[in-house]
Structure 1
Amino acid sequence: MIRFNRAIRPFSVMSFDLDDTLYNNHPIIKAAVSAQQNYLNALPRYQEQGPQYWQKCRQLAALQQPELKDNVTQWRKHTLHLALSKLGFTEQEVALHASNAYNAFADARSNIVVSDDVLALLDNLAQHFTLIAITNGNVEIERFNLHNKFELVLQAGMHGKAKPHSTLFDKAAAHLKVTKSDILHIGDSLDTDVQGANNTGCQSVWLNDQNAKYDYKGLADVEITNIHALTHFIRS
């Protein structure tokens, strides 16, 4: 299904969100969180704190440094150090266990295989448009089979504030030397992808296949229910 809420102006760049847009991220995140927790729970002092300890420390980290919410990698790393420091580990032990726990998370986090049909779609689109990625996530794209599909990859935290803030869209336009209306951004989230693109002056496509609730009440320029509907934009 493809529905046009507004007329699409000519564009030269297709910008993709990654998680839950080009692959199902839910089982990947679940596995990554489990890998981290399995490492931490092998430490008796940590396990004794109970299942809510991580979330409490995560919330405390955000209170201490609100800017961490724009960088999920640093938020996780800071929370690991905070959680372990509160348990009386030495500085060296904190550094060791925090590093090992994060690496367990990161290894599972990037254990992604994008389907062949999506890769073929991107290859097809790349013959007509410049393809880039703009993500709030911390997936390491060089570690799986999207690593050579984009001319530019921008990640929240590393390159600027998280969507829906305009920073990553602004940087993309400046880097590619295009106007923001030349960018068509595709993503699964109304709150981050569509709101961010709309507010910044980019054009927006909402991949509506998550059955999720969102706060943003604005409309995407285009709504689709299957990523392959993007072939509609290929010029004959």
Structure 2
Amino acid sequence: MTQLSDFSPWESKSVSPLTLITLDLDETVWPSESVLKKAEEVQFKWLQQRAPYLTAIHDLESLRTHRRLIREQYAEIAYDLTAVRATSLRLLLEEAGDSPDLAEEAIAVFLEARNWVTPYADVPPILEKLARTYRLASLTNGNADVQCTPLKAHFHFSLTPSIAGAAKPAPDMFRQALEQAGVEPHQAVHIGDHPECDVIAAQQVGMRAVWINRQETPWPADLPPPEATIKDFYELERWLLQEIDI
């Protein structure tokens, strides 16, 4: 595993053959738990005004339970969390006696609030630097739209399950990112917090991969160790300078 050491200033390094950096979003560039909770609360308040029969029967927890059932029952959309939410809500609205057509607008309300993210403090200054040299792409299994967040200026393109037709750890999203950037796997590195969906999945398509472990959790014993582990984007910058730009 790579050990971090002292490095020369960023500006003094030569141009690297690395062209593309792909990044996970939730728990990699921003925390998501509180954002998701808030988005669901905002949507539920909206539903209380527009779908009184539904909200007389269901609370936030029962809505979550129903979404889990939909993911199990509708395998063809299980990879797309937005489609799961929309399908679940449409079915519940109709069952309760409210208009199922409200589902689309309710999902829009949720997605707007889903993008009210606050990046980790280390992320914006490093992404601003990286975007000057590399193509940056977000690869997320979630439904945040990076172009509607404070980080929009730093990303050249973004892929989600609804665009790729599959969720990580399936290779589709990684392969589409390579194709869209016009690079070979060895010219790309992926940064993410999930051992299987980010690190192992990226390595299986031939990309380099770095595990960001902000919570200092143990690496799963049954998986091969990551090439490098970092705790924040400052360490990512130093790793790039040491491992890539030499």
Query: Does the alignment reach a TM-score above 0.5?
Result: yes
Instruction: Describe how 1:76-95 pairs up with structure 2 within 5 A.
Output: 76-89=85-98, 93-95=99-101
- CA displacement at 1:109 relative to structure 2: 0.5
Aligned with residue 223 of structure 1, among 202, 213, 229: 229
> In the alignment, what sits opposite 2:204?
199
Contact kept? 2:82, 2:143, Cα under 8 Å: yes
SS of 2:152 mapped into structure 1: coil
Match of 1:62 in 2: 71
Deviations 1:170-221 (A, max 9, x none): 1111122221122110011113111211222211111111466886723221
SS in structure 1 at match of 2:44 = helix
Measured on the aligned residues, the alpha-carbon RMSD in Å equals: 2.5
One-letter amino acid matched to 1:95: D
Q: Determine whether 1:100 maps to 2:105.
A: yes
Residues 181-190 or 43-52, more deviating: 43-52
**Contact 2:216/2:231 (<8 A) preserved:** no
Q: 1:126 to 1:84 in 2, by over 3 A?
A: same
Match of 1:22 in 2: 29
1:33 to 34, 37, 40: 40
Cα 1:27/1:197, change in 2 over 3 Å: same
Which letter maps to 2:37?
A: K
Which residue number in structure 2 is paired with residue 155 of structure 1?
A: 160
Q: Which amino acid aligns with 1:45?
A: Y
What's the offset of the Cα at 1:110? 0.9
Percent identical residues: 26
> CA–CA distance in 1 between the matches of 2:77 and 2:153?
29
Counterpart of 2:71, as a letter, is: A
With normalisation by structure 2, the TM-score equals 0.82
Give, in whole Å, the separation in 1 of the partners of 2:115 and 2:55: 26
Deviation, structure 1 residue 162: 0.4
1:131 match: secondary structure: strand
The SS at the match of 1:201 is coil
Match of 2:141 among 136, 139, 153: 136
Q: Which moved more, 1:109-118 or 1:70-79?
A: 109-118
SS at match of 2:159: strand
TM-score by length of 1: 0.85
Distance 1:126 1:109 in 2: 24
In the alignment of these two chains, the number of paired residues is 227
Q: Pick from 1, 4, 7 the counterpart of residue 2 of structure 2.
A: 4
